[in-house]
Each structure stands twice: as structure tokens, then as C-alpha cells.
Amino acid sequence: MWTVQSLQAWALPWLQQRGVESPRLDGDLLLADALGVERLALFLDPKRPVAGEELARFKSHLQRRARREPVAYILGRRGFWKHEFVVTPAVLIPRPETELLLETLLAHFPPAQQDSPLTLLELGVGSGALLCAALLAYPEATGVGVDISAAALAVAEENGRKLGCRERMTLVQGDLLQPLQLASPNDRFHAILSNPPYVRTSEWEQLEPEIHRWEPRQALDGGADGLAALRRIPSEARPFLAEGGLLAVEIGVNQEEAVMALFEAAGLQGVELRLDYSRQPRVVSGRAGSG
């Protein structure tokens, strides 16, 4: 009879041999999901017998993981900021680095100091993790999320519903700012955030199998120099920013100089670079002046 402990001991080398980078953690996450328990329960009850449907579920999870499918797609969920989001292969799995965009927003607009509701725009909303987390941090705010992928927008919608911020989100399909119109100055946003595709096309095949075999290419491939979307965003977003409004974008390796120059060229002020927790340049931000 298999137990939690014997399955853990068996799964570890099995995943290791198949090139999985964090075999212990992944094995535990998949086992806990197959048993319908929290990960901690595995350690509290290591002799718990596992058989029948639970065992079959775990084996199926392991086989998927051996094909290098990311754990988040197998489980159908991923944590971001303080919340858990539904993820499917139609959306990029939210990354911890992207939380820096939210931290930038919170630093510019401290939630306790807002007397009137913020209006937010996210370009490339994907799973909706960033926009939902922002809306939950500002309970009065409203947000627009644009994405080129209808399948991604369906996931954002589901996350909005599950987390109770759907009514404050408007989801729009289209190419960056193209679907939006500025009928009046009131249509401008207090903050525009984006984690656009920024991987160089030539780097695509070198990415880990978890990424290049499973994640949507449209979410990651930023063209020859990775800047296809980042080159457009500052100048196209600038007219949509309210006075003092914030534009913040996530960037990839060695893109900070070019992106900061694009922010300056678009007339944004106080252009800043933030490093992520691995000390990598990760977020460029700037503010709209009064002009």
C-alpha cells in the first residue's frame, strides 16, 4: 500500500530524472492537489494511505509534469500577491517579479491617501492577476484591461468573478491602446500598467521547456529586440494619462536604457528604474506632467 511518505520518496528521483528543476516541491504540490489537501497536511500525516482515485490523479499529474507542463497549469491555479488566480495555457503564469508593478502603483498612490476613486488601465491583462490584485488593493477603483487574446480575457473575467472585482473591471479585446478612445479628459487614467511581451524572438527556443512548450508565445515574444510593444507603449499611452498619472511597465534583460529613453521621449517625468528581488532591472515608471 502506498503512503504519502512512500510516494514522496518515489516521486522525487522520478521527477529528477526527467529534468524537473524543483522535484521535491513540485512532487509535493501535485500530491497535495491529488489528495485535495494543503501541502502542510503531507508533513502532518506522512503515513496516510493513498490508493484508488487519489493515486490515479497523482500519477496523471506526474505524467503531465514529466512532459514539462508547469505545475500551475496542472493545478489550474497560481498565487499572485495575496490572492489565488485561475490559470490555463491561454494565459501567462503570473510571475512574482510582476508584483513590482503593483508595488510601484501602491508607492505612487498610497491606498490610505486616496480621496477619490482611481481609474486604472492594464495593457496585456492576461489572467487578470495584476489588475484584480490592484482593484482589490483599492476597493473604490475601477479598471480597464486590454488584451489581444480573447481566450486570455475569458480567464481574466473568471478571475474577476471569483475574486469579487468583476463589476469594477472592463475587459476589452484589441491591440494595446487601439481599442480605447479619449472622448473627454475624464476618460484619462490615473495609472497605466503593462507587463507586455518582451522576450527577444531569438531567445524563444532557449527558454525552459516549461515556457516555450506550454506558455502562449503571444504573451512573451516581443519581436527581434523584444521591444515591439515597449516601443509603442510610452507614446501611445501618454495621452491617456491624467495629470500626474503613472505609467509603469515591466522590462526584460538589458532593456532599461532603451525603455527609459522612450519614456523621456514621450514627455514623461520623473522616469525611474526599479530592481526586482534578484537585483535585475525590472520596472520603468514615469509620470505625466500637466501638459
Ligand X SMILES: C[S@@+](CC[C@H](N)C(=O)[O-])C[C@H]1O[C@@H](n2cnc3c(N)ncnc32)[C@H](O)[C@@H]1O
Instruction: Please count the helices (runs of H) and the strands (runs of E) in the chain.
Output: 12, 9
Closest approach, Cβ 215 to ligand X, in A, equals 9
State the virtual CA torsion across 178, 182, 183, 188 in degrees, nearest 10: 140
Nearest to 109 by CA among 193, 176, 26: 193
Compute the distance between CA of residue 5 and CA of residue 45 in angstroms, rounded to an integer. Answer: 9
Is residue 256 a contact point for ligand X (CB under 6 A)? Answer: no
Among 105, 148, 162, 167, which Cα is nearest to 130's?
105
| Strand ranges, E, within the chain | 77-80, 83-86, 119-123, 142-147, 169-173, 189-194, 241-250, 269-275, 281-287
- 94: contact with ligand X by CB under 6 A: yes
> Which of the stretches 3-11, 158-166, 216-224, 267-275 binds ligand X when contact is defined by CB under 6 A?
216-224
Q: Least CB distance from residue 128 to ligand X, whole Å?
A: 8
Binding mask 64-93 for ligand X (x = CB under 6 A): ---------------------------xx-
> Of the ranges 19-27, 47-55, 214-222, 270-278, which one interacts with ligand X (CB under 6 A)?
214-222
196 is a contact residue toward ligand X (CB under 6 A):
yes
- Number of residues counted as binding ligand X (CB under 6 A): 25
Residues from 111 through 150 that contact ligand X (CB under 6 A): 123-127, 129-130, 146-149
Task: Indicate the residue among 42 and 101 with the shorter CB distance to ligand X.
Answer: 101
Can you tell me which residue has the cell 500598467? 193
Where along the sequence are the contacts to ligand X (CB under 6 A)?
91-92, 94, 98, 123-127, 129-130, 146-149, 152, 175-176, 195-197, 218-220, 229
